[in-house]
Structure 1
């Protein structure tokens, strides 16, 4: 059994934070713990940015600097190097969302390729990452998932989108850098899954390069994984998966009620946790065929993964198993795993302040809605402040 007190070590957890950064983190999580404040703050921030009020400096020095690496990749390098010095790798995530134009999608694809090529010579960056809607319009993904016919111009968009996927996947394959593809809303995800499967079939012959994401709050994901595993074995390619609980809970349930279909989301938090753990165990049971990136802020699942690895004789440093947490959150998990010799990475979002705001607002809302997440952060920060005073 993994020692269940490993994540209580705040000295290791906050070793990179100065006293003032510790105070800022405490202040931010205190704010995030108040749901009405998050709602009002989100609305006011969106409005202020839309009408160009001079709030970027304030956002930058508070929430942005806590949860993001910088406005561009150069900005992030100091953080990447500092993390790597204490055994933590980085996944740089160009977190620009909600674009609609082909030129913007081309620019994002180009950015992912540049980061992938850069990562080839940077040991601290073993992965590259993108979101499906970073490379193509949500509406196109949705139409294909719903099996609706495309117009002529939409068909051209779809072909361009597929070409971007292929170019980015090929760059990852050529550089030997693994590519994590995020998952999004269920009503566009089938199309993203199918395209990702095509890329896996093409580029995961010798080893997993293209990784899809399984959102374990969806009750159908274990079944999907098992079927895909069978197809991959038959056709002779490897699989890679990042597993997460999921970030669109309220949106998913609301849409299911509105449109009168069964919610794709597990009926309870416990059912989601069980599903996550089952999927994780299935992959670890099949580690010869499937590599895993365990994206979680949940201590219990992390301890469980460590236990299963030990049981199966999978070394802590086995490159087929990675853990990951978001930058600015769950440092007690990340840094203590790194100190123990596990493969662990921080997901570091970056991009222009205005473009990254949808991501930051989602993070704040998610922290507010996940019971216990924010209070755990506050308890640990308080404990470390007291330790330093002594």
Structure 2
């Protein structure tokens, strides 16, 4: 996911020291000088020329609504309440508000129609069938069928309109198994043991600075049943990757919370080793820059891939589970795995961006810069120009969520960069976890949406003035 990170108090014990950016080797990230108007957001007539006035008004109203903390809090309560969301009127309200704003439709066909409109506006789509948190193999198999159908559907859409398909490993591997595998990987890192008979060849998953507090004691080995379930999960991911490879649609594998992320990275990197032999990698992992070990893990994985002669791809996001990670660390009396302030998160994001853009130049890496932050967008655009990266290069993509950072998306598209909007789809009940994260992450949406609201308001005023003066 690509959420907006806001400054919040961590409420950690005062005796715990906070890790500063120097411990991560974060370099100062100043924006290189931009050529004239590489990101022109001032000309709102050009910026919003593909959006009609009624759609612009609707988006502006929703942005204002999501900027009101009491209204957002009320929405979160409603989304969590089965008594509300389980009713027909409850579903209709959710569908007409948050669902319509953030999601692309209830099925693959509806998402395809949304994507076609997006393509006509000069942007591409990242298709994500909104499934996650499977509990057993039967659910995993059903979910895999949905993901494969989504990938196969792309062949009927306008050529190159789909930039990526997207999957959550939590949808094709039971959560409990991901937790078990993550525990064993952390214990292996902590004790430097190599007694994991089920482990396939992969890239480094954890770094010396990675948090290991989730696994305080030696976990039991996987049972025969668990090993078999892990092989089934690997086969599901391989099936999806092979279908993506056949159709030539790259696959983004989302990141999750730290209790299961080591297992997700392990499965992702194993798939990379099997499918990323071409110049354009099929499998892309995700790095969450709000984590203190993000840059170190990124460098370790990329350098290991280069030694393997492997083309590697990553999506860079800020992170989606700030509240969850902070509460868990605090309950265990340990330092949060997340940077101590938003400035360090921004610095880490830009530092990871610079690193991956360097790999794009060398031809050994591909990056999807998933950001809603205007300054990060400007930084990346300027850095890409400074390094001489062709704006049409498929190995450099920008991405934003549907319904968010419209001005940044259009500005980057107008500057000539490859831009995609993330299009989650599925029945309302199915995407509730996604909508909850959007609501929780955007409690501070007032500041995050300021640019979009200001520019939309400016364009609406311009259109009204033009209409009054008789110029249409």
Q: Is residue 87–residue 341 contact of structure 1 (8 Å, CA) maintained in 2?
A: no
- 2:41 counterpart of 1:41: no
Report SS of the residue matched to 1:92. strand
Deviates more, 1:372-381 or 1:246-255: 372-381
Partner residue in 1 for 2:349: 276
Task: State how far apart, in whole Å, the 2-side matches of 1:155 and 1:42 are.
Answer: 38
Partner residue in 1 for 2:457: 382
Partner residue in 1 for 2:40: 6
Partner residue in 1 for 2:327: 254
Partner residue in 1 for 2:406: 331
- 2:71 counterpart of 1:24: no
Task: State how far apart, in whole Å, the 1-side matches of 2:50 and 2:104 are.
Answer: 14
Q: Is residue 42–residue 361 contact of structure 1 (8 Å, CA) maintained in 2?
A: yes
Deviates more, 1:300-309 or 1:57-66: 57-66
Relative to structure 1, is the Cα distance of residues 163 and 246 closer, same or farther in structure 2, using a 3 angstrom cutoff?
A: same
Distance apart, 1:121 and its partner CA = 5.1
Distance apart, 1:304 and its partner CA = 1.1
Q: Is residue 93–residue 347 contact of structure 1 (8 Å, CA) maintained in 2?
A: yes
Distance apart, 1:327 and its partner CA = 0.5
Distance apart, 1:369 and its partner CA = 3.4
Q: Is residue 297–residue 333 contact of structure 1 (8 Å, CA) maintained in 2?
A: yes
Task: State how far apart, in whole Å, the 2-side matches of 1:42 and 1:221 are.
Answer: 29
Deviates more, 1:42-51 or 1:175-184: 42-51
Q: Please, which runs of 5 or more residues in structure 2 have no aligned partner?
A: 1-32, 185-218, 466-472
| Matched pairs, number | 390
Report SS of the residue matched to 2:41. helix
Partner residue in 1 for 2:188: none
Report SS of the residue matched to 1:325. strand
Relative to structure 1, is the Cα distance of residues 51 and 91 closer, same or farther in structure 2, using a 3 angstrom cutoff?
A: closer
- 2:69 counterpart of 1:69: no
Task: State how far apart, in whole Å, the 2-side matches of 1:9 and 1:60 are.
Answer: 33
Distance apart, 1:280 and its partner CA = 0.6
Report SS of the residue matched to 2:336. coil
- 2:247 counterpart of 1:212: no
Partner residue in 2 for 1:345: 420
Report SS of the residue matched to 1:186. coil
Distance apart, 1:165 and its partner CA = 1.1
Task: State how far apart, in whole Å, the 2-side matches of 1:22 and 1:199 are.
Answer: 42
Q: Is residue 318–residue 345 contact of structure 2 (8 Å, CA) maintained in 1?
A: yes
Task: State how far apart, in whole Å, the 2-side matches of 1:279 and 1:295 are.
Answer: 12
Distance apart, 1:248 and its partner CA = 0.7
Relative to structure 1, is the Cα distance of residues 10 and 330 closer, same or farther in structure 2, using a 3 angstrom cutoff?
A: farther
Partner residue in 1 for 2:239: 167
**Alignment RMSD, CA only?**
1.9
Task: State how far apart, in whole Å, the 1-side matches of 2:327 and 2:413 are.
Answer: 39
TM-score calculated relative to the size of structure 2: 0.78
Report SS of the residue matched to 2:392. coil
Deviates more, 1:365-374 or 1:160-169: 365-374
Q: Is residue 66–residue 446 contact of structure 2 (8 Å, CA) maintained in 1?
A: no
Task: State how far apart, in whole Å, the 2-side matches of 1:166 and 1:250 are.
Answer: 33
Task: State how far apart, in whole Å, the 1-side matches of 2:410 and 2:437 are.
Answer: 24
Relative to structure 1, is the Cα distance of residues 5 and 92 closer, same or farther in structure 2, using a 3 angstrom cutoff?
A: closer
Q: Is residue 135–residue 161 contact of structure 1 (8 Å, CA) maintained in 2?
A: yes
Relative to structure 1, is the Cα distance of residues 331 and 54 closer, same or farther in structure 2, using a 3 angstrom cutoff?
A: same
Partner residue in 1 for 2:296: 223
Partner residue in 2 for 1:310: 385
Q: Is residue 41–residue 411 contact of structure 2 (8 Å, CA) maintained in 1?
A: yes
Q: How does 1:110-125 map to 2 (within 5 A)?
A: 110-120=145-155, 122=157, 123-125=160-162
- 2:136 counterpart of 1:136: no
Task: State how far apart, in whole Å, the 2-side matches of 1:44 and 1:85 are.
Answer: 35
- 2:385 counterpart of 1:296: no
Q: Is residue 104–residue 111 contact of structure 2 (8 Å, CA) maintained in 1?
A: yes
TM-score calculated relative to the size of structure 1: 0.94
Q: Please, which runs of 5 or more residues in structure 1 have no aligned partner?
A: none
Q: Is residue 14–residue 384 contact of structure 1 (8 Å, CA) maintained in 2?
A: yes
Relative to structure 1, is the Cα distance of residues 74 and 318 closer, same or farther in structure 2, using a 3 angstrom cutoff?
A: same
Moved runs in structure 1, 4+ residues, more than 6 A?
none
Deviates more, 1:155-164 or 1:352-361: 155-164
* Residues 20-65 of structure 1: CA deviation (Å, up to 9, x unaligned): 3333322222222122321222112332455435322222222211
Task: State how far apart, in whole Å, the 1-side matches of 2:318 and 2:442 are.
Answer: 13
- 2:406 counterpart of 1:369: no
Relative to structure 1, is the Cα distance of residues 83 and 53 closer, same or farther in structure 2, using a 3 angstrom cutoff?
A: closer
